[in-house]
């Protein structure tokens, strides 16, 4: 993926007024959409919507961490990214586990609510992706923001597809399948973030030893 496209050049560390403004906008978008999507997910009985709402909450919190550690030493930023990667992995496992649990029970999600809220969330996430597009190849802290926003947009397309599936089949399986797929996406991104963060954490020790 894009992580290796810059060779050995130092990666953008987020220290620009433009990135700070972009991050503040994205934090606000995610906080609002968490409240909207959680409410809709509970009302519609949709596991996919609730999984996506949880992702919005996680993004709001982790983007706040990203903003807080801007300008800190590489090792500090890498540790923050590592924490975000681990939290993303936990989120993925939780969504997967709850999806398996719900697959054993009755209940049909409301497809019309899933579709409408999925479209709204997609618009919000596409806006976030466009805001962050030029910062996608930064260090682990910066790149984790891009990956989370990209995942959100993909997840919203999947939620809308699940809504169509629920409407067409009259079963909850499309909703549960999409929730499980989103869980897998969380876990893959978590591995990418953790791997880059560990590498940068090792790099962060080198200048200290050389001084």
Distance from the Cα of residue 171 to its chain's centroid: 27
Q: Is the pLDDT of residue 6 over 60?
A: no
Assigned domain for 5 exists: no
* Overall number of domains in the chain: 1
Residue labelled with tokens 């409408």:
116
Max Cα-Cα span within the chain: 66
pLDDT digits (tens, 9 = 90+) for 189-202: 788 878 878 887 78
pLDDT digits (tens, 9 = 90+) for 158-169: 778 878 888 888
pLDDT digits (tens, 9 = 90+) for 56-104: 887 887 788 878 877 777 777 778 778 878 877 887 787 777 666 656 5
User: What end-to-end distance do the CA atoms of the chain give, in Å?
Assistant: 34
Assigned domain for 43 exists: yes
Assigned domain for 9 exists: no
Rounded to the nearest 10 degrees, what angle do helices 47-68 and 74-103 cross at?
A: 170
Assigned domain for 2 exists: no
Assigned domain for 181 exists: yes
Res 102: pLDDT: 58
What's 70's domain CATH number?
Answer: 1.20.1510.10
What DSSP string runs through 89-106?
Answer: HHHHHHHHHHHHHHHTS-
Res 11: pLDDT: 62
pLDDT digits (tens, 9 = 90+) for 101-126: 656 555 667 778 878 888 888 898 88
- Cα–Cα dist 154/42, whole Å: 21
Q: Is the pLDDT of residue 32 over 90?
A: yes
Percent of the chain residues topping a pLDDT of 70? 82
Task: Please compute the mean of the pLDDT values over residues 113-142 and round it to a whole number.
Answer: 81
Q: Is the pLDDT of residue 207 over 60?
A: no
Q: Is the pLDDT of residue 30 over 80?
A: yes
Q: Is the pLDDT of residue 14 over 80?
A: no
Assigned domain for 22 exists: yes
The dihedrals phi and psi of 157, each to the nearest 5 degrees, come to -60, -40
More confident residue, 18 or 33: 33
**What does the DSSP 8-state code read for residue 72?**
S
Percent of the chain residues topping a pLDDT of 90? 5
- Cα–Cα dist 74/208, whole Å: 11
Q: Which of 60, 59, 58, 64 minimizes the C-alpha distance to 94?
A: 58
With beta carbons less than 8 A apart as the criterion, state whether 40 and 117 touch: yes
**Segments forming the whole domain that contains residue 138:** 14-210
pLDDT digits (tens, 9 = 90+) for 34-44: 999 889 888 88
């Amino acid at each position: 993926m894009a992580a290796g496209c810059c060779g050995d050049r130092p990666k953008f560390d987020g220290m620009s007024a433009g990135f700070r403004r972009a991050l503040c906008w994205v934090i606000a978008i995610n906080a609002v959409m968490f409240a909207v999507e959680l409410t809709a997910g509970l009302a519609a009985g949709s596991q996919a919507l609730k999984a996506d709402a949880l992702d919005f909450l996680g993004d709001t919190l982790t983007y706040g961490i990203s903003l807080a550690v801007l300008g800190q030493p590489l090792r500090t930023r890498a540790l923050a990214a590592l924490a975000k990667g681990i939290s993303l992995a936990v989120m993925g496992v939780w969504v997967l586990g709850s999806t398996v649990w719900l697959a054993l029970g009755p209940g049909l999600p409301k497809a019309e609510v899933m579709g409408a809220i999925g479209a709204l969330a997609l618009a919000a996430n596409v806006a976030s992706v466009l805001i962050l597009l030029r910062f996608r190849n930064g260090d682990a802290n910066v790149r984790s923001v891009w990956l989370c926003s990209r995942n959100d947009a993909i997840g919203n397309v999947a939620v809308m597809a699940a809504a169509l599936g629920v409407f067409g089949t009259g079963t909850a399986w499309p909703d549960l399948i999409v929730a499980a797929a989103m869980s897998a996406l969380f876990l893959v991104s978590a591995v990418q973030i953790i791997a880059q963060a560990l590498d940068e954490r090792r790099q962060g020790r080198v200048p200290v030893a050389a001084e």
